[in-house]
């Protein structure tokens, strides 16, 4: 039951983009069409899931036994950076089409705050291994859900008559605000 609560709250209620404002840069940058939004979402799920498990292991098998918890930030960010590099190389070789659409945003997953946040969140909330796994799948799933919905709206927005200064990102942010309002309505389900 606790696992279900963690999952639901990570996907819908404390949604990483709309409630916690993490990962807003790729959320705006890669949501111009649904295909690249899906690609980005899947890449983020993979990176967050794998790096959270790695950082969990590093925290409890290296940092805590050696009493060097203050190295947490440096070691976590290095693991994440190395991991993103790996995903990038893999995509370049096996999925060149997707690699081209994601372009500059792929290396930027390193600086996607969501990845580091989930890794640290698992530790600060004191989750055990199973809870860590659930949290690190559900949180990026929330990201995928929101970025996909957002990219659908944005494709329609291209045909709408928006005032000139609002064209592009500003109107996107207004839409994001309205989505946040809609998601805030789900807060009662737990």
Ramachandran assignment for 21, one of left (phi > 0), alpha (psi -120 to 50 degrees), beta (any other) = left
Under rule CB under 8 A, residue 166 binds other proteins: yes
Q: C-beta of 124: minimal distance to other proteins in Å?
A: 8
Distance in angstroms (rounded) separating the CA atoms of residues 139 and 16: 7
With CB under 8 A as the contact rule, the residue among 82, 89, 130, 190 that binds other proteins is 82
- Smallest gap from residue 144 Cβ to other proteins (A): 18
Residues in the interface with other proteins (CB under 8 A) total: 47
Residue 187 as a binder of other proteins (CB under 8 A): the answer is no
Among 45, 116, 144, 147, which residue sits at the site for other proteins (rule: CB under 8 A)?
116
Tokens 């990962």 sit on residue: 23
Q: Classify the phi-psi angles of 104: left when phi > 0, otherwise alpha if psi is within -120 to 50, otherwise beta.
A: alpha
Residues 52-71 that bind other proteins (CB under 8 A): 70
Place of tokens 């309205």: 178
Closer Cβ to other proteins, 4 or 92, answer by number: 92
Show contacts with other proteins in window 20-59 (CB under 8 A): 20-25, 28-29
Separation of alpha carbons 6 and 135, rounded Å: 6
For the chain, report the end-to-end CA distance as a whole number of angstroms: 11
Determine if 145 is a binding residue for other proteins (CB under 8 A).
no
DSSP E strand boundaries for 16-119? none
178 binds other proteins (CB under 8 A): yes
Residue 116 CA to its chain's centroid (Å)? 10
- Rounded distance, CA 32 to CA 169, Å? 10
Residues binding other proteins (CB under 8 A):
18-25, 28-29, 70, 73-74, 77-78, 81-82, 107-108, 110-113, 115-117, 120-121, 124, 163-174, 176-178, 180-181, 184
């Amino acid at each position: 039951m606790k696992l279900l609560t963690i999952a639901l709250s990570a996907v819908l209620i404390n949604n990483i983009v709309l409630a916690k404002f993490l990962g807003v840069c790729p959320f705006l940058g890669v949501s111009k069409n649904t295909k690249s939004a899906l690609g980005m979402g899947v890449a983020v799920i993979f990176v967050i899931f794998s790096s959270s498990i790695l950082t969990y292991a590093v925290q409890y098998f290296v940092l805590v036994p050696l009493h060097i918890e203050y190295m947490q930030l440096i070691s976590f960010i290095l693991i994440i950076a190395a991991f993103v590099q790996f995903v990038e190389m893999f995509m370049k070789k096996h999925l060149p089409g997707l690699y081209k659409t994601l372009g500059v945003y792929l290396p930027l997953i390193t600086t996607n705050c969501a990845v580091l946040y989930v890794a640290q969140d698992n530790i600060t909330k004191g989750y055990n291994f199973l809870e860590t796994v659930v949290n690190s799948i559900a949180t990026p799933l929330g990201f995928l859900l929101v970025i996909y919905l957002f990219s659908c709206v944005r494709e329609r927005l291209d045909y709408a008559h928006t005032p000139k200064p609002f064209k592009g990102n500003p109107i996107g942010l207004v839409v994001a605000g309205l989505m946040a309002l809609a998601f805030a309505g789900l807060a009662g389900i737990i």
